Structures are given as structure tokens and as C-alpha cells.
Amino acid sequence: MSEVTIKNDEVDIVIGAIQSDLTSFMEAWRPFFSNFHLIVVKDPELKEELKIPGGFNLHVYTKSDIDRVVGSSAGSISFSGYACRYFGYLVSRKKYIISVDDDCVPAKNSSGELIDPVSQHIINLSTPATPFFFNTLYDPYCEGADFVRGYPFSLRTGVECGLSCGLWLNLADFDAPTQALKPTLKNTRYVDAVLTVPARSMLPVSGINIAFNAELVGPALTPAFRLAKEGNLRWETVEDIWTGMCVKVICDHLRLGVKSGIPYVWRQERGNAIESLKKEWEGVKLMEDVVPFFQSLRLSETSVTAEDCVVEIAAAVKERLGSVNPKFVSAAATMVEWMKLWKRVRGQ
Amino acid sequence: MSEVTIKNDEVDIVIGAIQSDLTSFMEAWRPFFSNFHLIVVKDPELKEELKIPGGFNLHVYTKSDIDRVVGSSAGSISFSGYACRYFGYLVSRKKYIISVDDDCVPAKNSSGELIDPVSQHIINLSTPATPFFFNTLYDPYCEGADFVRGYPFSLRTGVECGLSCGLWLNLADFDAPTQALKPTLKNTRYVDAVLTVPARSMLPVSGINIAFNAELVGPALTPAFRLAKEGNLRWETVEDIWTGMCVKVICDHLRLGVKSGIPYVWRQERGNAIESLKKEWEGVKLMEDVVPFFQSLRLSETSVTAEDCVVEIAAAVKERLGSVNPKFVSAAATMVEWMKLWKRVRGQ
């Protein structure tokens, strides 16, 4: 593929508000958010009124919108906590979606300059991905780079990018055990690169700072995998890890790319890792079954869209993981419900 | 695996001398080479005497050594040009080998500090590799990093690293067409990371700046793939690309890792890309067959050492690529010959 142009009005920035006062968050992002349409979804569990400064082109969705749009068809789908953003994905009408956690602000690069994560995500989605051969100088389409010697010319056109996974400075996205064991561990290393994660290689996608092509992979971003004691701290969740594996398997199957690397966001402290430890172990344990499942999953030739793929993955989850843990049975059921909801609301 | 300790006397630094005056090269590397044993192999085509400054612990091998050690058994194996370093791999008695092209000097990091490529290669080889799941914060064993949320605990011990592929600042390792099309293109982006290239993902290994565990993968580094009009410029060769694919397939099969990233070296200009274009196209064209071959190659369970794997790969090359181009038939023959030579000389 050749590079595509993404216009600002093709992009929705979706913010799941799990804290009520978004003033400092919005002000920090103002330079980069002001030219885009924003969708703010208020966590339905959140009681307080949202505080959002003026001057943005935004639409706020609350519990009553969720009830109205989803209604009784919600079934096992929950939009509480981090999952509230998925309602934004559902009601967006845009081709591209960018989503950032509300405890993150724009980071600075190693020269101390403020980074524009929105632009970088758009670059990642608009330039081709190269999942079928690794380029040792990382993204060959970025300024000053190219394909290295030995890279087959037939693979240099690349494929479309489905998902762009950004990273984090300061508080990294470690799990609760790691964070509890190393309470002073902060990520200070700014790695100035983005790369395509090779085909058939799985990665733990973090939902903290991502962007995706909703037409290509949107249906795969489902709030399907909810832990029993899930709270409002990232290290208490694995919903985005699950979603990321679905997207990666689908991208591999449909010959699309997943990129990881820049842009970074600056992630602020929230919560106490030691207190979260009890909750997290469920997620940690489940990964031991989740990862081999997705690594060995091969979709059938008859699945030609992300929707087909999600339905096929749900069936495989139920069949192969259902007996391991009831969590997987409900994840599969939620994915099927989500597919119906997605088709009805997004009209796809 | 846990981290291993590598002692200086377990390492050989192998330099293939394709230019006669190594004075500035050796002086630039003096701070990092002085504590190691060096093997310098003089390109047998080189007529002039080598100029090497004093104060190093080194052994120089020349054409007469090659004739003495290899003798009439050389057959189709050629040690001329870049291939002369392979003689150094053969006669080394050390577990670890580091090799750098003689037109490279130590680079500086983004803070302007001189980088020690030798130490970084040793770190890469002594810390585990993680080929079975991608860590979004790159090398989890490097200072200040760890495994991110969602990374299965069962995969966090990692596996041994077989090969460490370093990179290049200034003149990057582009092919002649790319370099001829973009004569001013230089690599200035210092990406402060090293990562494990995921299992089953192929990469174009550059021989410019590498290190490897000779006990684990040494036999796979063979001067097997020689182009008809190969010259003494990197962009006229694909020998290292071929070798790299053999090593990667073997590492995937034996559950070992290949790392790519830091250390960088500063690569100086040599040659004229436009004049090399005629020679290079053969290599470029052959990649279109080479890459799919290695991507689809699966070795049998009975191949349990690198030696077994090389013999099996050679047979597959002959069988599946032999009819495509006679170059592949001779590459396969050279690999088999190399295996015999390796066993005889290295006693393995």
C-alpha cells in the first residue's frame, strides 16, 4: 500500500472518564486535542459530575446514553471502569479512533520537547506496516529511514496498519506484582522508534495509549474480558490485553499490521500496587492459558472481515478455553453480543 | 535461563582486514579492544602488508595460514573479501565471537558519550532472550526495564541468546539501489533499545557489527553464499544475509534467541553505490527466493545441534532452491564442506 492521508475530521479521540475532574488532563492535552472531535464517556459507576474545561469540540456520554443506546441488549456487557471507553468506540462514526487513559499527559522527548501523540498515532496509522519481514532500522517509512540491505523488494510496499500501540514514560504499564516488588521502578528510557510487530508474534497490547482503524479492526475491540474483582486501576485489568490479542490474530489473518513504539505519554501515579495484588493474580494466572491459545489460533479462510474473525474467535474461546475457567465462557458470550451490538449501532 | 557471566578470556574479537592500513581503525577501538584477544584475518586477495599499531593482544592470519589450515579441502569455500573473517571464526577457540567491519569506529550515543560496543554485545549475549512473546518495553533485562503487564510469567525466564546484531550510525547498511537513489541518506536516529526478534520472524542480519555464541550457533556462520561479481563493498554482498537467515532458523528451532538493536557503530563511507548497482541486482533478485524459503523452512526433530541443522538446511536448499539458480547449489555444497571443515578444525 502507499501512504494514506488522514484528515482531522476522520478521527475521534475517545476518553473514558473514570475520574470526575478532567480539568488538568484536558488542559495538558489542549494543544493536541483542539483540532479534533472528542468523545468523553463517563464511567457509569462515577457519581460526581464531570468537570471539563471549555473550548473543546466534544460530546459527553453518560449512563443514560448507554442505557438508551444499548438498552436491554447489553446482557453481559459492562461499560464500567476502563470499559466505558468501548461505548465511545461504539457510537463513533469516524474511521480512526485514538484513546488515552485519563491519568496520562503528553510526554517530552529526550530533547525535552513536548511530543504530540495524536500526530504520531496518525502517522503510524497512515503509513504502511511491515509484518512479514523485520526491518532492523525499525519503521522504514519514518523520516531518515529506509529498508535495509537484504529486505525483499516485493515486501517493501507493506500493508495497512490496523492498530498503533503507544508507550508510557514515568509509571510504566507493569502488573501489580512487578510494581509491588519494585515500587521505585519508573520507565525513563525514551526509545525513539516505532516498529511493526512481526506476523504470528503476540504482544501484550496496553489500552493506555492506542489508536486504531475502526473500519479494519474496530469490532475486535470489545470489553469482553472482565476479572471478578476488577477495579479502576490498570494493573487490576486484563481487558485490553485480551482485546489486543484478538486484534493481533485478526491483523495476522487479514494481512494487516500492528505497530508498537512511539508516541509516549507521561503516566501519573494512581493507586497502590500492594493493595491491588490480591485482585491482579487472577489476571496473571489466566494469561498462562490466554497466550498459548492465541498463539496457536489460526482462523479459517472464510473469515474475511474483522466481524467474521471475532465470531470465529469467540467460538474457539468457548470450545477450547471454556472448560478451563468460566471467565472464558462469559468472554466468548460477550464477544458474540458485542458483535450484534456493533452491527446494530455502527450499522456495519 | 538466568543471566550468565562472560569473562574477557572467553571472547575473541575477529576482524577481517580488507584494507591494509588498520592504524586509525585500531586506534579508535583501542579503549574497547585492549582487554580482549583479537584475531585479524587478512583478506587473501590483499597484496600490501598490514599496518597494525602495537599494544594489542592479537594474532594475524594470512593467506599462508588459510592454505595451511584449510589446504586442499577448501573446495568451493572462498575466504576472499568480507569472507576472510570466517577463517577467524574457524580458528577461534573461544565461546563468544564479536566481529566488526574495518570501516567502522565506535559511535556516540545521543548524549554524545562514546559507546562501548564490546560490552553491549557481551550484555546481549549474557542476558536471556525472549523470542516467544514480544515485550513492548523492549529488552526486559536491561537496567530500568521489566516485563509489561500481560506478559506470561512462564515465559519470563527467557532462553539463551545465540546472536546479537548491532546497528550503524552515519552510513547505514542500505543496498546499492537505495543508497544510489538517496545518496545523502544517513542514519542519524539513535534508538536506545535492543529487542529479541520474535520466533518465526525473519530479519536481514548484517555482518557489519555482530556477536554470537560460537558453541550454540557458530557452525551456521558460513561463507556459503557468494555472488558472481561480489566485490569488497558491503552492498555488493549478501553472504551475511544468508548466514543470518540460517542462524535465525536454527535459533527458532533450538529455542534460542536473536537480538537486534544496540550497540551502534559509526560507519564510514567507502565506495560508490552507483558503480556497484550492476553487481548488486543479483543479490537483490535472489532475496525474493531466499526469504520465502527460510520463512517456510521447518527443521526436523532429529536436528538437535547447530551442526545437524546446517546439514539439514543445506539439503533443503539443494532440493528446493537448486533448480532456481545454480548459486543455491553451490551454497548448499559449501555449507556441507564448511561443516566438515568446522568439525575438523574446531574439533566439534
At B111-142, the pLDDT tens digits run 889 999 999 999 999 999 999 999 999 999 99
Nearest chain B residue to A248 by CA distance is: B134
With cell 558519550, the residue in question is: B113
Q: Can you give the pLDDT at residue B279?
A: 67
Bigger pLDDT: B166 vs B269: B166
In the structure, what pLDDT confidence band is assigned to residue A4 with cuts at 50, 70 and 90? confident
Q: In b/e form, how buried is each residue of B309-330, taking b as 16+ CB within 10 angstroms? A: bbbbbbebbbebbbeeeebbeb
Inspect the interface and report whether the beta carbons of B198 and A193 lie closer than 8 Å.
no
Q: Can you give the pLDDT at residue B31?
A: 96
Q: What is the mean pLDDT of residues B58-76?
A: 88
Q: What are the distances in angstroms from CA B229 to CA A50, A243, B42, B208, B290?
A: 70, 51, 20, 20, 18
Interface pTM, i.e. ipTM:
0.96
Q: What is the mean pLDDT of residues A84-96?
A: 97
- Tell how strand A209-213 and strand A161-170 pair up: antiparallel
Task: Please give the helix or strand (H or E) that residue A226 lies within, else none.
Answer: none
Q: What is the DSSP letter of B138?
A: S
Q: Can you give the pLDDT at residue A277?
A: 74
CA atoms within 13 A of residue B90's CA, in its CB half-sphere: 26
Q: Can you give the pLDDT at residue A283?
A: 83
CB-CB: which of A198, A260, A288 is closest to B136?
A260
- Tell how strand B37-42 and strand B57-61 pair up: parallel
Give the least confident one: A314-318, B4-8, B31-35, B281-285. B281-285
Bigger pLDDT: B157 vs B4: B157
Inspect the interface and report whether the beta carbons of A134 and B260 lie closer than 8 Å.
yes
Inspect the interface and report whether the beta carbons of B201 and A134 lie closer than 8 Å.
yes
Burial category of B301 from C-beta neighbours within 10 Å (exposed 0-12, middle 13-18, buried 19 and up): exposed
- Tell how strand B11-17 and strand B37-42 pair up: parallel
Q: Chain B interface, mutation test: which of A130, A133, A136, most B Cβ atoms within 10 Å?
A: A136
Q: What is the mean pLDDT of residues B274-293?
A: 84
Nearest in space to A149 (alpha carbons), one of A136, A165, A158: A136
* pTM of this structure: 0.96
Look at residue B247 and tell me whether its pLDDT is greater than 80: yes
Nearest in space to B212 (alpha carbons), one of B255, B166, B167, B254: B166
Look at residue A312 and tell me whether its pLDDT is greater than 60: yes
**Residues B95-107: tens digit of each pLDDT:** 999 999 999 999 9
Dist CA A308 CA A316 (whole Å): 13
Identify all chain B residues contacting A234, using CB atoms and an 8 Å cutoff: 149
Q: What are the distances in angstroms from CA B320 to CA A105, B288, B296, B297, B314?
A: 54, 14, 11, 10, 10
8 Å CB contact between A284 and A175: yes
Look at residue A168 and tell me whether its pLDDT is greater than 90: yes
Q: Can you give the pLDDT at residue A73?
A: 62
Inspect the interface and report whether the beta carbons of B150 and A175 lie closer than 8 Å.
yes
Identify all chain A residues contacting B138, using CB atoms and an 8 Å cutoff: 191
Inspect the interface and report whether the beta carbons of B198 and A197 lie closer than 8 Å.
yes
Output the CA torsion sign for B150, B156, B162, B166.
positive
Dist CA B196 CA B259 (whole Å): 4
Q: At a CB cut-off of 8 Å and minimum separation 6, what does A143 contact?
A: none
Which cell goes with A222? 470489545
Dist CA A291 CA A117 (whole Å): 29
In the structure, what pLDDT confidence band is assigned to residue A76 with cuts at 50, 70 and 90? confident
8 Å CB contact between B214 and B161: no
Which cell goes with B114? 562514546
Dist CA B13 CA B168 (whole Å): 18
Inspect the interface and report whether the beta carbons of B192 and A188 lie closer than 8 Å.
no
Dist CA A247 CA A258 (whole Å): 8
